[in-house]
Structure 1
Amino acid sequence: MTKTIIEVAIPGLNVDTTFEYEVPEHLSSEAGAGKRTVLPFGNKTYTGVILSLKAESSYELDKIKPIISIVDDQPVLTDVLLKLAAWISVYYITSINRVLAFMIPSGAGIKSKKIIKSKILEHNDLLIELKTKKPEYYAVMDFIIKSGDIPYTTLDYHFKNSKLDTALNYLKKKEFIEFIQETEELKVVEEIKIFMTEKGKSNLVEELNPAQSKILELVKLHNGEYNSNEIQKTIGCSASPIKTLIKKGFIEVKLIKKSYELKDFYTEVEKNIVLNTAQENALYSILSSIERNSYEAFLLYGVTGSGKTEIYLQAIKRVIENGGDCIMLVPEISLTPQTVARFKNRFGDKISVLHSMLSPNERLEQWNKILSGEMRIVVGPRSAVFAPFKKLKLIIVDEEHENSYKQSESPAYNGRDAAVYRAYLEKCVIILGSATPTLESYHNALSGKYKLIELPQRASEDAVMPSVKICDIRNELVSSDTFVFSAELKNRVQSALENNQQIILFLNRRGFAPYVMCLNCGGSFKCPDCNVALTFHYENRSLVCHYCGFIILTEGKCPDCKSLALKFIGLGTEKIELACKFNFPGAIVERIDADNARKKNYLNRALEKFKNKQIDILVGTQILAKGLDFPDVTVIGIMFADITLNLPDFRAAERTFSLLTQVSGRAGRSFLTGNVVIQTLSPDHYSIINASNQDYKAFFNEEIILRKTYNYPPFTRLINIQFSAQNENKVKYYSRLLSETLIKKCGTSIKILGPAPAPIPKIKNMFRYQLLLKGVNLNFVKKILAEFYAENKNDHSRIFIDVDPQNLM
C-alpha cells in the first residue's frame, strides 16, 4: 500500500527547513493541510502544522518517522494563511517555522511525553553480557527495569552527565527497550465563581443587613464574574455575609472553566455621528468595492480629525451584517482604550482585541473564539493580520505610516504589506488609512496601484485645524542650563489652565536626562556593553541603558567619586513632568511613557482620568500621538522637535513630519480653538514648516525629489544585512565575505553600501556591522542571501537580514 507522506513545519522551532513524516494508515483519512499533528522530533515531541500531502518523498521511506496523532477535525490554518506564511518566508528570507509561531499562539499545542519501556525482564541473560561489555549502558538499562515505564525527562535528569541518547539508541537497536509517545489534551483550567440562584432573583428575599444587600446587588449585576475574595475587596466586607447568603440559598458557588475575558477600564459614550459629504463619498466607494467581492486597495488620506475611524466603523458594520469578518490593524501605541471603547460600543461581544499585554492564556482564548466563528472582528497590532478568519471581507490598516508595523526581529515582516498580500489572496478589500501616509503608499496611489480617497477637512464643522507656532529655542538653550519651556509655551499652558482646559506635552524620550556629567571628577557614563550614554531616571535615581537594560543605582550621586555635583543634560519626560509641577503648582500632572505604560491597565486608567478631567497636563512620548480625541485639549507642546530629525536615516525627515503632524492633530478637536507650540533648533527645516501647516502634499513634493535624487524608496528596493558578534574581527570578516560574494555574483545589478559599522556600533556587548543593498529587483539577491545565511550561520555570530527596512540604526 502507498504510504501517505506529509510536509510539516514546527511553529517556533529555530530551524530553517520543513520536515517529512509518514501518516499511519489509521490516520491517513484525517490528514490535511492546515491541521496540527503531534510528532516525534529527536528525543522530544512537538505539535507541527501540516503544510501539504506529498505524492512521494524526497527521502528513503524506511527513514521517515510516523506521526503520533492528528489534533484537529478541521484545519486551523486556511489555504490562504498557509500561502501567506510561505510568501513571508520567501520574501523576508526567514524560516516558515518562525512565521507559523505568529499564526498559532503558544499553548495551542498538545502536551506529549516520551516514555521508555523495557522489553526484557530483570534476570535476562543478555543483561549479564551487557554489564560486562557496556557497563555504562547497563546502568541505564538497570535503572529502566527497576523504575518500570519511565519518562525520558526523568532519565535525562538522573543521567545528566552521561551520553544518555547514545545509550538509549544502542539499547533500542538491540531491542532491550522501546519508545512510546503518550499524549494528552491540555487541561481545562477551572475556577470558582459565585452565581445568583432562582431564590435570590425573586422578590421574596427576606430582610438583609447592609453588607448582604450590597453583595446581592453586586452578584445580580455581575452574575458569575466574581469569586468570594473579589466580592470582599469590592464591597469591603468579610467572608461571613457571603457564607450567610450561600447558606440561605440566595447565591451559590460553581466550579466553571476559567475565562480570560479582557477587562475594560475605560468607557466611552457613543456619539450620534452624521457623515459629511466627503465621508459619505469615501464610504460609498469602499462599500461598492466590498460588494464586488474582489481585491481592491484604498489609501484613505485624511487630515487629523477628518473622521477616518467612523468610515472604518460603518464599513465594518456593513460587512458584519452580510456575514463577513473584518481585521482592523492598529500600531501597538495606537491601541488606546479610546479606540477599543469605540469598537466595543458599536459591536459589543463580536470584537476580539489583541495586544502585547495579553497573557498567553488570554491570547489563546481569543484565538479559539476567532477560530470557532464566535468573534467577527479583530482589532490588534501587526500579528492580528494572521487572525484565522474563514470569511474575511475587509482589512483595515490604520495609521499605515507607523514603522511599528515592521517586526524588528526574524521574521522581519511588515504587517501592512502582509495585510495587502492577504487581501489579494482573500480577494477582499483593504483600506490603508493615515493623515501622513508613507511616501511609498502615496506614490502607489498616484501611480494607480492603490485607489486614493481624500478627506481634506475635519469631520465636525466646529472643529478647525489648530494654530501652530514654531519657536526657535537656540538662544534660550544657550542662555539657560535649566531650559524646558519657551515663553510662548509657558504662557499658552498658563492660559489653558486658567480656562479649565487641558494640555498635552510631547517629548519622544523617556527618563529624566539622556546625558549626565559629574562636575567634580569630570566623569560621564556609558553602558559597558553598548556604545551609548546611560540615561538618568529620576524616579529610582538610576542610570539606565535603553538598549540592554544595564542599570546603576546612583542615589543621585556620581558612581565614581560619589559627588552630588551632577549635571543633567538634555530633556526627558520625567524632567518635563517635574518642570510642570514646579512651574504650574496647582495643576494635576500625569506622565505616560514606556516606563509606566507597560504596567497592566495603567494606560487605561490614566486616560480615563484625563477624559474625566481629573488630569490637567498629560506628559508623554509618541503613545500620545495616536488615537486620542479629547475635546478639552487646547494646547499641545512639542518640547523638542529635533530628536528624530538628526538621525542618520533617510526617513528622518519623513518621521519628523509625521510625528509632529500627528501630535499637533490632538488639539482643537471640538469648538475650542487649538494651539500648538513646536520648540525646535531647526525652525527653517521643510519637515517642521510643512508640519506646522499640516501640509502633507507640500512635504511629499519636496521629499520625493530627494528620494529620487539619491535613489531611495519608492524608487528602489532595500535590504539591510546586519552582522553582530562579540568578536569584532568575525563581524568584519563575514560582512566583507558577503560583500565580495555579492559583487562576484551580481556585478552592477545592485548597489552595495558598506560594509561599515552600524550607526550604533555596539549593543549588548555585540559589535555590529551592516551592508545596505539597493536594487529595483532583488529576487535573485534574496536567493544568494538565503544560501549565504545557511552556510555561515553559527552560534558565535548573528546575521540579520532585513528586507524593506524601516530603521537603519
Structure 2
Amino acid sequence: MAASVRFAEIALPLPVDQVFSYSIPENLLDTALPGRRVSVAFTNRRMTGVITALSDTCPVPRYRPLSDVLDSDAVLDASLLELTRWIGRYYLCPWGEAIKAALPAGMLSESEQIVSRDEPCPPECMDRLRRAAPRQAELLAQVPEQGAVTLSILRRRTRIRQPFAALRGLEAKGLVTISIGDTSTGPGIRYETWVELVPPMEEADRIVTRLIPRAPRQASCINLLARHGGRLTTEQLRHLGRIERDVVRRMEKKGLVSLREVETVRDPYRDAELPEPVKVDPTAEQAEALRTIHGAIGQGAFKSLLLYGVTGSGKTHVYVKSIEKTLAAGRSAIVLVPELALTPQAVRQFRAHFGDLVTVLHSGLSPGERYDSWRRTRAGDYRIVVGARSAVFAPLSDLGLIVIDEEHEPSYKQFDDPPLYHARDVAVVRARTVNAVTVMGSATPSLETYTNTQTGKFECSRLTERVDRRPLPGVRIVDMREERRLGRFSIFSAPLADRIKDRLARQEQIILFLNRRGFSPFVQCYDCGLSVSCPHCSVTMTYHADSLFMRCHYCDHRDQAPEVCPKCRSQSIGYRGVGTQRVEEELKERFPDARIVRMDMDTTSRKGSHQDIFHRVLNREADILLGTQMVAKGFDFPNVTLVGVISADTSLNLPDFRASERTFQLLTQVAGRTGRGKLGGEVIVQTYSQGHHSVASAQAHDYESFYAREITDRKALGYPPFGRMVGILFQGERDEYVMREARRFAELMRKQPGGLNILGPAPPVIARVRNQYRWQIIARSCHSGRLRDAVRQSRLQWERAADSRRVHLKVDVDPVGLV
C-alpha cells in the first residue's frame, strides 16, 4: 500500500453499526473533509454518506475509492457531527442513521433500484410461483408488464421490508431485470425567471400600439409589465395574461425585455399576517427568571433551566426576552414546539418580534421548503429557528439558546424510524457541547424534569400567576355514572350541553377535546358480540362516517362497513364508542347554527391545514374547535371561554405506568386553553373516574400534590426517574419465529452482568401490526450505562445467528410509553 494513500471513514444511512473506509483519489484530497457528503459504491448500489474522519490507514486489506465529494462546505459542523455520534451511542443506533435524521430529507438518498420486466408472466407460471415462492409472486404482481417500478414503490405496495432475496430469485428465473439509477443528492435551489422591460416606461404605450397588429401577445406582455413597475416573473405573466415563455424569449431577442434568474426561497409562512408586538413590562416572577437566564447567556455558560409556569403565565414573553439577549450577545436560538399544529402560532409570535431573522424547520414542510430553510440557516441568513422535534438539529452557528416549549410532551420522542431520540434530551446535550442555555417550559413538567430540579441538575424558575393576575379557570367534574343513573345517555352531559348553548348565545368560542378520532372505535354485532377487526393488525376497525368506510389506524386498511355480521349473518350491527366525527355529528344536530372546526389526523393531513384551522379560530370564523390532543397544547385564543373534555378516561385506562401522568397533563393543559382573555373561562370534564388522583389534581390545578403522589409510586416500583428502561421490540411475519428470537434475546440479556431486571418477552397490547407479529422485552436497571452496554452486547450476539434475519428488532432507549 502506497504511503501517500489517504482514507476517509464514511457513515452511511444503513442499519449497520459501523463506518466504512474508502480511499481518497488524489484529485479529491483537498475537498474530502469531515462533515461533507460523498458518493460511494456500496455492494451493488451507489449511496450518499458523510465523512466522519480522515486516516492514513485502512482496517481492511481491500478497499474502494470514493466516487465524488458532493459539497464545497460541511453539511454538519464538528459539534453536530459529535452530537450525532452521541445519539448513535446513547440510543443504540448506527451513526449513519443518526446523521440522516439531522439532515433534510433526500440529502442521503441512495440510487433508486429499478425493477422491470419485458414479457408477461403466463398464468400457470404465476400459479406455480404463488405456491412455491409467495413473496416472489407478490412482488412480481406489482411490476407492470413491459414497464418498470422503483424498489421504494415495491416496498410500499407490498409492505415487504427486505425484498432483495425474492427479487434476486425472480431475476435468476429471467422474470425481472434489476438496474441502478443515478444517486439523488436531494432537493436543489429553486430559481425564478424575472422579466424586465428594457425600453423606458414612457415608451410602453408607443410600443404596444406598434405590436398590436402583428404580435398581440407581445403587446399584452408589454402592457402588463408597464402596469406592474416594469418587472414580473414568468409565472406571474402566465397567471395574469397567459403569456407563455416562448413569447418572452422572442421579445428578448428583439431587445424588448431582459431575463434574469433569481434564487427564490420557498417559505410557507411568507405571507402570514403578523400582529404588532405589544411592549409589556415583565412581572416580578418573569423578571427573576430572566435574570437567571440572561446571566448564563452573558457568561456564555451552559445551563439547563425549567420554566415552571401555570398556563397563561407568560412563558412566551420570557422566551422572547431571552432570545433578544441571545441575539445581542451575537448568538443564535432554537425554539422547539411539540406539535406541527402549534407552528403557525409560534411563527406568528416570534416573527412579530424578530421579523426575517426567524425561519421554520419541521417534517411538515415540502422537501424544497425544508432544504431552503436549512441551507439559508447554515449560511447565516436566519438566526432563530422554530420547529418541532427535528429542529433540534438546525445548523445554526454560535448557538446560544434552546427553548423547549411544553417540554413534557411525548411527541418530542421519535417513535417510528431510528434513531428513537428524545429532542429534549438531545437539546440539553447539544447545549452542553456549545455552552448554550436550555430553557424548558411547562405548566405540567415531566416527572423526570421536575426531579432533576429537586436534585440540582436543572435550575427552576416559577411563574405561579397568570398575566394580569387573571384567575385560572374553574374546573367542574361531571360523573358520567350519575348521568346514566338519571337516564341521560348523550355524549354531552347536561352541564356541558347547557354551557355550550350559553357560550354560543354570547358569541364566545369553545374547545371540545376527545383523544379518539373517527366516528366509532369499533363495529360490533349485537347478537354474537363479534367486533370487526383489521385482517392485518390485532385491533378493531374504526368506522369513519365521512367515507362510510372502516379504517385501521395502524396500517390504514379500509373496508366497507358490514350490513350483516360476517360470523352469524345477523343484521344487528352497531357502531360502538365515540370518536371526534361522532361528536361533530351530534354537535351539528343539537347546535345547527354553530360553526364547527374539527382538528385531528383526518382533517390535518393536507399541507397547510394546521395553519388554516388556526387562523379560522383566531379570526373568530369558527365557534367550536373540536379535536384530539392537538387542541390541548399551547394554543392561545382569547375568545375561548369554555373547554369541554368529552372523556377523561381514554388515556387513564391505558396499561402504561405513565397513564396517570399523561391524563393529568392533558387535562391541565386543555383546561389552560380557556380564560386567557378578559372574559374568564370554565372547564367541564366528563369522566367515569371521578375519584382518581390525576383527575382531582387537575381539577385543583395542583401539580405539587400530583407529583408527590405519583413520585412515591414510581420510587416504590423502580420506574423512571428512579430507574432506567430500554424497550426491545421484535417483529416478523411468523409468530413462532418472533417468539423464539425474543426468548433467545432475553436469555442473552439475563446472562449479562449488572443485576438487570428483564421483563418478558411477552406480546405487547397490540400484538400484530401490518401482518408483523410483535413481542416485547423491557429491560430495567438503575445504571443507564450498564443497561445500554448489556443491550448492545446481547444484540451483537443475537445478530450472529442466522434466524435473527427473519425478525426485525427495534431498540427504544428511555421509552416514553409501553403501549
Query: TM-score category by the smaller chain?
Result: 0.7 to 0.9
**1:464 CA displacement:** 1.9
Deviations 1:58-88 (A, max 9, x none): 222xx12222233333322121111111111
In structure 1, the residue matched to 2:815 is 805
Does the 8 Å contact 2:106/2:186 carry over to 1?
Answer: no
Q: Describe the shift of the 1:382–1:158 C-alpha distance in structure 2 as closer, same or farther (beyond 3 A).
A: closer
In structure 2, C-alpha distance between the alignment counterparts of 1:105 and 1:733, rounded to whole Å: 38
- In the TM superposition, what whole-angstrom CA distance separates every residue of 1:99-125 from its partner, at most 9, and x where no partner exists? 1111222333699899xxxxxxxxxxx
Counterpart Cα distance in 1 of 2:718 and 2:790: 23
Mean CA deviation greater in 553-562 or 598-607: 553-562
The match for 2:477 is 470
1:760 partnered with 2:766? yes
Q: Aligned equivalents of 2:88 and 2:109: distance in 1?
A: 25
- Compared CA separation, residues 262 and 182, structure 1 to 2 (3 A): closer
Deviation per CA, 1:659-680: give whole Å up to 9, x if none: 0000000000011120000000
1:318-717 matches, cutoff 5 A = 318-333=325-340, 335-409=342-416, 410-461=418-469, 463-477=470-484, 483-519=490-526, 523-554=530-561, 565-717=572-724
In structure 2, the residue matched to 1:7 is 9
8 Å Cα contact 2:189/2:372 also seen in 1: no
> Could you say which residue in structure 1 is the equivalent of 2:212?
none
Relative distance call for 1:185 and 1:460 in structure 2 (3 A) is closer
Within a 5 Å distance, the mapping from 1:243-262 to structure 2 comes to 255-257=261-263, 259-262=265-268
Structure 2 counterpart SS, 1:77: coil
Distance change (3 Å), C-alpha of 1:202 and 1:479? farther
* SS of equivalent residue, structure 2 residue 817: coil
Match of 1:784 in 2: 790
- Show the 5 A alignment for 1:214-363: 224=233, 227-231=236-240, 255-257=261-263, 259-264=265-270, 266-274=272-280, 275-333=282-340, 335-363=342-370
* 2: CA distance, partners of 1:105 / 1:554: 40
Match of 2:781 among 752, 771, 775: 775
Matches within 5 A, 1:194-205: none
Shift of 1:363: 1.4
| Residues 7, 19 of structure 1: 8 Å contact kept | yes
- Aligned-pair CA distance for 1:332: 2.3
**More off after superposition, 22-31 vs 337-346:** 22-31
From the superposition, tell whether residues 522 and 686 of structure 1 become closer, same or farther in structure 2 (CA, over 3 Å).
closer
Instruction: Rate the CA distance shift 1:261–1:194 in 2: closer, same or farther, 3 A.
Output: farther
Deviation at 1:604, TM superposition (A): 1.3
The alpha-carbon distance between structure 1 residues 588 and 82, as it changes in their structure 2 partners (threshold 3 A), is same
Residue 198 of structure 1, CA deviation: 8.9
Deviation at 1:437, TM superposition (A): 0.5
3-state SS of 1:759 partner: coil
Residue 189 of structure 1 deviates from its aligned partner by 4.9
Give the 3 Å change call, closer, same or farther, for CA 59–541 of structure 1 in structure 2: same
Question: What is the RMSD computed on CA atoms of the aligned residues?
Answer: 3.7
CA contact 1:331–1:399 (8 Å) conserved in 2? yes
Once the 2 structures are TM-superposed, how far is the Cα of residue 33 of structure 1 from its aligned partner? 1.8
Distance in structure 2 (CA, Å) of the matches to 1:485 and 1:559: 33
CA shift in 2, pair 1:185/1:89, >3 Å: closer
- Structure 1 residues 336 and 111, CA, compared in 2 at 3 Å: closer, same or farther? closer
Structure 2, unpaired ranges of 5+: 114-163, 210-219
* 1:598 to partner: Cα distance: 1.3
Q: Deviations over 1:295-346 (max 9, x none)?
A: 1101111000111111111211222233211111111245332111111222
Q: 1:33 to 1:187 in 2, by over 3 A?
A: closer
Deviation for aligned residue 1:281? 1.5
SS of the equivalent of 1:262 reads: coil
Tell me whether 31-40 or 472-481 shows the greater mean CA deviation: 472-481
CA distance in 2, matches of 1:621, 1:221: 50
Q: Over residues 138-177 of structure 1, what are the superposed CA-to-partner deviations in whole Å (9 max), with x where a residue is unaligned?
A: xxxxxxxxxxxxxxxxxx999993599xxx9xxxxxxxxx
With 26-35 and 561-570 compared, the bigger mean Cα shift is at 561-570
1: distance between equivalents of 2:628 and 2:504? 21
For each residue in 1:566-609, what CA deviation from the matched residue of structure 2 results, as whole angstroms up to 9, or x when unmatched?
A: 32221110111111111112211111110011111122112212
1:556 and 1:251 mapped to 2: Cα distance?
67
Deviates more, 1:551-560 or 1:619-628: 551-560
Q: Secondary structure at the match of 2:365?
A: coil
- For structure 1, the residue ranges without an aligned partner over 5 or more in a row are 115-155, 169-178, 233-237
Report the 3-state secondary structure (helix = DSSP H, G, I; strand = E; otherwise coil) of the residue aligned with 1:270.
Answer: coil
More deviation, 50-59/421-430: 50-59
Residue aligning to 2:141? none
> Secondary structure at the residue paired with 1:605?
helix
What's 2:83 paired with?
84
Q: Determine the C-alpha separation between the residues in 2 that align with 1:543 and 1:380.
A: 34
Q: Normalising by the residue count of structure 1, what TM-score does the alignment of the two structures yield?
A: 0.84
SS of the aligned residue for 1:310 comes to helix
Give 1:369 deviation, angstroms.
0.8
Structure 2 partner of 1:100: 99
Deviation readout 1:429-467 (Å, 9 max, x if unpaired):
111111111000000011100010100011233x32111
Assess if the C-alpha contact under 8 Å between 2:725 and 2:815 holds in 1: yes
Q: Does 1:54 align with 2:38?
A: no
Q: Percent identity?
A: 36
User: In the aligned structure 2, how far is the partner of 1:650 from the partner of 1:184?
Assistant: 44
CA distance in 1, matches of 2:437, 2:188: 40
Contact 1:111 1:186 in 2 (8 A): no
> Structure 1 residues 740 and 188 mapped into 2: Cα distance closer, same or farther (>3 Å)?
closer
Matches within 5 A, 1:27-176: 27-60=28-61, 63-108=62-107, 161=171
Counterparts of 1:786 and 1:2, CA distance in 2? 37
SS at match of 2:793: helix
Deviation by residue 1:489-538 (Cα, 9 ceiling, x = unmatched): 11111111111101110001100111222346754201112111111111
1:724 aligned residue = 731
